[in-house]
């Protein structure tokens, strides 16, 4: 099924060049009809399909989609709007800081899909590192699993300059033990986004990350 039309990206391109309230208000009807509505339909479809593998995920789509308005209270950049629309698939929507879920991002410059754990607390980090340390064989198997490796290559994230003593030598064998975040991301094209099977494409990327997310979740829940 086709969800997005060229008008979707035409609006985002225009917003990137005219990121101000006056322009947005003049084009609000286009935003509502060509961007907000079709993106919500896409998120709803993905939620229903993903829930077959993850019945615990949030089904209130309004809680899964990020607002296009930027929080500029403490930002140097006072542009009032984001140049993209995005959604997260987790247990509690955009406010879920615990569950390793999935993320989609459709912007004027980039189209991305990924998942994993971006916000990692000190306690969660200790548990994930411990799991990697004691179960590195299983962790490497997930990293090298064909579907995951082809789509995402590896895990990304900020790293620690100083590691606990027990992990310093191990880091030579498994550098990802130094990560402070454990997320993965892939880029798509506008041609793919405007195609008839964008929902199938996105779902295939999410399914490629299911086992990695499960590894991270079980580590944090231990």
Q: Which CATH architecture has domain 6-221?
A: 2-Layer Sandwich (3.30)
The three-state secondary structure class of 46 is helix
Residue 10 backbone phi and psi in degrees, to 5 = -60, -40
C-alpha distances (whole Å) from 15 to each of 12, 72, 90, 176 are 5, 17, 28, 38
Q: Which two tokens stand for residue 160?
A: 């620690």
Cβ proximity of 4 and 202 under 8 Å: no
At 166 the pLDDT is: 87
> For position 77, what pLDDT does the model report?
81
Domain ranges of the chain: 6-221
pLDDT, position 106: 98
At residue 112, φ and ψ (nearest 5 deg) are -135, 155
Query: Which pLDDT value is given to residue 179?
Result: 98
Residue count of the chain, please give it: 222
| Residues lower than pLDDT 50 in the chain | none
Q: Classify 196 as helix, strand or coil.
A: coil
Structure tokens at 181: 């975040």
State the pLDDT at residue 96.
Answer: 86
- pTM, full prediction: 0.95
């Amino acid at each position: 099924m086709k969800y997005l039309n060229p008008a979707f990206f035409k609006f985002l391109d225009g917003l990137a060049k005219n990121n101000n309230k006056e322009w947005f208000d003049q084009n609000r009807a286009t935003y509502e009809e060509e961007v907000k509505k079709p993106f919500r339909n896409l998120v709803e479809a993905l939620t229903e399909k993903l829930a077959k593998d993850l019945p615990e995920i949030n089904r209130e789509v309004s809680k899964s989609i990020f607002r296009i308005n930027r929080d500029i209270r403490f930002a140097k950049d006072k542009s009032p709007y984001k140049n993209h629309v995005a959604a997260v698939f987790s247990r509690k929507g955009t406010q879920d800081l615990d569950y390793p879920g999935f993320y989609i991002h459709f912007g004027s410059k980039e189209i991305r899909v990924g998942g994993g754990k971006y916000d990692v607390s000190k306690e969660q980090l200790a548990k994930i590192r411990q799991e990697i340390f004691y179960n590195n064989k299983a962790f490497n198997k997930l990293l090298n699993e064909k579907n995951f490796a082809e789509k995402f290559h590896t895990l990304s994230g900020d790293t620690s300059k100083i590691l606990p003593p027990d992990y310093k030598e191990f880091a030579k064998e498994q550098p990802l033990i130094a990560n402070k975040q454990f997320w993965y991301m892939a880029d798509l094209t506008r041609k793919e986004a405007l195609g008839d099977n964008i929902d199938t494409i996105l779902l295939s990327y999410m399914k490629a990350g299911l086992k990695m997310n499960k590894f991270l979740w079980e580590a944090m829940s231990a």
